[in-house]
Amino acid sequence: MDSTEKKSLNKNLQKANKEKNDEFYTQLPDIERELKHYKDHFKGKVVFCNCDDPEESNFFRYFALNFEFLGLKKLITTHFEKEKNSYKLEIEEDLNGDGKINDLDKFKTPLNQSGDFRSDECIEILEEADIVVTNPPFSLFREYVAQLIEYDKKFVIIGHQNSITYKEIFKLIKDNKIWLGYGFSGGAAHFINKYYVDYATAGDHKEGMIRVSGVTWFTNLEIKKRHEDLKLYQTYNEIDYPKYDNYDAINVDKTKDIPIDYDGVMGVPITFMNKYSPEQFEILGLDDHRLEYPNWRGRGPDLNGKPIYRRVIVKNKKLSRKIDL
Ligand SMILES: C[S@@+](CC[C@H](N)C(=O)[O-])C[C@H]1O[C@@H](n2cnc3c(N)ncnc32)[C@H](O)[C@@H]1O
């Protein structure tokens, strides 16, 4: 990430968090690019988009357009209104009798509450749903995921890669209960927005959009990608892969440089999670999660007296050395 990107990301995310505003809308092609990998999961299922403005949301549009193609049973989308009663929009059958089920068959019903995903009304819909798909507010990500897990729901949702380092989210990743989807091209999303200044450099700027780097998809639906080994090319040597000052693990700066032949513990960047296959690697912990990784001493990995940015601690399962943790 260069300094302009960091500035853009930080300013916009800080502002979104502070104002609890989060009004970024996902583009239809981005939804299509991700969801094409999940087609088989949707047949006969009830899909719920619970953080959407259905009249603007491309999630609603995507599922309405593809209702028959995916073989959906039902689509439910709730709208959120701060401190006001809201509504839900649903598609279930060929209401207008034109022989197709699509956007023209939507029906609107008022809600008695605000459409908050935590409200009793929305939880009742959640219980009926099989798969939740949306871009929830980044500021409520922890709580949002916790609710999906509590109600044992399948999901495909957008979040920021920094949330990988949230203790609760990391634990779910480490336990192979959630993982990263295919993601956005170049690791950055252009969201439709009306509120924020886009600090993206000229080449990356798109009118009416905001560029947020580090945005990705989180899911607990099976996808092929998660079982594909990362191709490794580099071989281990002590100069390129120094050990941390405060732990017996080597530092790897770039995921693509993970050595093919190192059978010990490695600290790899968080972006590694995009390439993680549980058959190839075991996740041992996150640098400063001492509970997860009891022998860890210190706040994070230090290299030559300097702290290193967050690292996921892994080992290659296909190499056999037993590691005593
Ligand atoms: C990042 S926007 C994404 C909108 C839409 N899902 C999309 O991607 O185009 C987050 C949406 O969540 C809604 N929202 C904010 N707080 C919410 C809450 N507590 N419950 C449900 N929706 C909420 C906002 O109104 C906003 O429409």
When pLDDT is cut at 50, 70 and 90, the band that residue 20 belongs to is very low
User: What is the average pLDDT across 203-218?
Assistant: 83
**Chain segment 154-170, per-residue pLDDT in tens:** 999 999 999 998 889 99
Handedness of CA 184, 185, 187, 189 (dihedral sign): negative
**What CATH code is assigned to 9-226?**
3.40.50
CA angle 52, 154, 12 (to 5 degrees): 40
* Mean residue pLDDT across the chain: 87
Whether the Cβ atoms of residue 247 and residue 290 lie closer than 8 Å to each other: no
Domain boundaries, the chain: 9-226, 228-316
- Which of 19-28, 108-117, 161-170 is most confident? 108-117
Whether the Cβ atoms of residue 125 and residue 88 lie closer than 8 Å to each other: yes
User: What is the average pLDDT across 126-146?
Assistant: 96
Structure confidence at residue 5 (pLDDT): 46
Q: Which two tokens stand for residue 139?
A: 């500021």
Residues 301, 75: Cα–Cα separation, whole Å: 46
Whether the Cβ atoms of residue 174 and residue 180 lie closer than 8 Å to each other: no
State which ligand 1 atom lies nearest to the alpha carbon of 16.
1
Closest C-alpha to ligand 1, atom 15:
137
Q: How many CB atoms lie within 10 A of CB 321?
A: 10
- Ligand 1 is surrounded, with C-beta below 6 A, by 22-26, 51-53, 57-59, 80, 115-117, 134-135, 137, 140
State which ligand 1 atom lies nearest to the alpha carbon of 134.
6
DSSP per position, 103-138? GGG-EEEE-SS---TTSHHHHHHHHH-SEEEE---G
Tell which one of 20, 51, 76 to mutate to probe ligand 1, the residue whose CB is within 8 A of the most ligand atoms. Answer: 51
Q: How remote is the CA of residue 220 from the centroid of ligand 1, in Å?
A: 20
